[in-house]
Amino acid sequence: MHILGIETSCDETAAAVVEDGRLLRSNVVASQVKLHAAYGGVVPEVAARQHLVLLSPVVEQALRDADRGWDDLDAVAVTRGPGLAGALLVGLNFAKAVALARGKALVGVNHMEGHVYANWLLPGVEPQFPLLCLLVSGAHTDLILMRGHGQYRLLGRTRDDAAGEAFDKVARLLGLGYPGGPAIQRAAEGGDSAAFAFPRAMLRSGLDFSFSGLKTAVLRAVERLSGTAVPGGQQSDLSPAAAARRDLAAGLPVADLAASFQRAVVDVLVEKTSRAASRYRARQVAVGGGVAANALLRAELPCRLGGEVLVPPLALCTDNAAMIAACGYYRLTHGQRDGWDLDAAPSLRLA
């Protein structure tokens, strides 16, 4: 069964072809990062309009790369949420139109479930249940126990900022730009991760996370080191405040701050994942979401948990449509078919 996946929940316009839920035939991602970087974050309307421009050529490219035509496809799987409403609507309407015109089945997919199913695209690996999933993205930090396809139990989640959101906000604070995760990772190279004793919130209590105190601790450290208040943390990167932040950061030990911050986030993620894995006797641990691209997290998890950790390649951690097609396959084979009234669900939850 060949499935065309479509993903437009945020700032990546993506299409992919996956065979039988596991075989990656093509994976095309047109990133809008450069477009949004000037604003220091994703501008929803700009994202939606750019999806409108890019989606059709991206889909054509995915079919060409896969060496497949419309007649070879069985279904179209599309992200229906969570994500930006306008951005989701572009992908959904496109998916409905092609599915209707070409006589294909339509299946709506939860974006976070897609991140889980990126692990089914790893060649030669069969994920084992119970599977503990650590989902770490720009908007989510969830620990989810998966007992079978489509069976999810939420064990822990963030009570405030998501891990990726913390990376993005701290990067902005340090004048490192957007997206924050890769920028912090680069800045941390050569930095001393023990230079600042940043908090590991709720480390020993339960499986929920909290990252807003850590973000504030970095802010306080910057203010202490510079002897001044940090200008306008939430303002766009085109604002005078952003230029002032960059000047201020120029005199700071940015590598040490970035390394200490990154270490604190990774310590908490690894500790809680490890505790959840043993408490729920998970046979394997799978990670997903943009923060799973972080090199320190990718190194530390298998170190702590052994060989039973599945870590998708970078291109399958950040947003992509292959994971949507993979998830769509399991949804379809378990009987899901959506109608032409399928709506976007910007705040859809997985469990």
Residues found near ligand KG4 in the complex (CB under 6 A)? 10, 137-139, 164, 167-168, 179-182, 185, 289-291, 293-294, 318-319
CB of 81 to Zn ion, least distance (A): 11
Pick 175 or 288: Cβ nearer Zn ion? 288
CB of 180 to ligand KG4, least distance (A): 5
Pick 63 or 297: Cβ nearer Zn ion? 297
Look at residues 142, 68, 117, 103 and name the one whose alpha carbon lies nearest to residue 323: 117
CB of 330 to ligand KG4, least distance (A): 20
Cis peptide upstream of residue 179 (ω within 30 degrees of 0)? yes
Look at residues 330, 316, 339 and name the one whose alpha carbon lies nearest to residue 27: 316
DSSP 302-314: HHHHGGGEE---H
Pick 84 or 217: Cβ nearer ligand KG4? 84
Q: Which does 142 bind (CB under 5 to 8 A by kind): ligand KG4, Zn ion, none?
A: none
Pick 99 or 270: Cβ nearer ligand KG4? 270
338 binds Zn ion (CB under 5 A): no
Q: Which does 260 bind (CB under 5 to 8 A by kind): Zn ion, ligand KG4, none?
A: none
Report how far apart the first and last C-alpha atoms of the chain are (Å, whole number): 28
Q: Which does 185 bind (CB under 5 to 8 A by kind): Zn ion, ligand KG4, none?
A: ligand KG4
Q: Are 219 and 154 in contact (CB under 8 A)?
A: no
DSSP 260-309: HHHHHHHHHHHHHHHHHHHHTT-SEEEEESGGGG-HHHHHHHHHHHGGGE
Residue with tokens 């923060």: 291
How deeply is 278 buried, as exposed, middle or buried, from its count of CB atoms within 10 A (0-12, 13-18, 19+)? exposed
What values do phi and psi take at 312, rounded to 5? -65, 155
CB of 70 to Zn ion, least distance (A): 27
- Rounded Cα distance between 36 and 55, Å, is 17
Q: Which does 291 bind (CB under 5 to 8 A by kind): Zn ion, ligand KG4, none?
A: ligand KG4
- Stretch 137-176: interaction string toward Zn ion, x if CB under 5 A: x---------------------------------------
Residues with Cβ within 8 Å of 138's Cβ and at least 6 positions away in sequence, in order, are 10, 162, 164, 165, 168, 290
- Stretch 109-138: interaction string toward Zn ion, x if CB under 5 A: ----------------------------x-
Pick 138 or 175: Cβ nearer ligand KG4? 138
Q: What is the number of alpha carbons within 13 Å of residue 125 lying toward its C-beta? A: 19
Q: Which does 79 bind (CB under 5 to 8 A by kind): ligand KG4, Zn ion, none?
A: none
Pick 291 or 345: Cβ nearer ligand KG4? 291
Pick 156 or 312: Cβ nearer Zn ion? 312
In the structure encoding, which two tokens stand for residue 171, read together? 């990067």
Q: Which does 139 bind (CB under 5 to 8 A by kind): ligand KG4, Zn ion, none?
A: ligand KG4
**DSSP state for residue 229 in the 8-state scheme:** P
Residue with tokens 């069976």: 151
- Positions 301 through 320 that interact with Zn ion (CB under 5 A): 319
Q: Which H or E run contains 143?
A: strand 141-148
Pick 167 or 198: Cβ nearer Zn ion? 167
Q: Which does 94 bind (CB under 5 to 8 A by kind): ligand KG4, Zn ion, none?
A: none
CB of 205 to Zn ion, least distance (A): 27
CB of 156 to ligand KG4, least distance (A): 18
Question: Residue numbers of the site for Zn ion (CB under 5 A)?
Answer: 137, 319
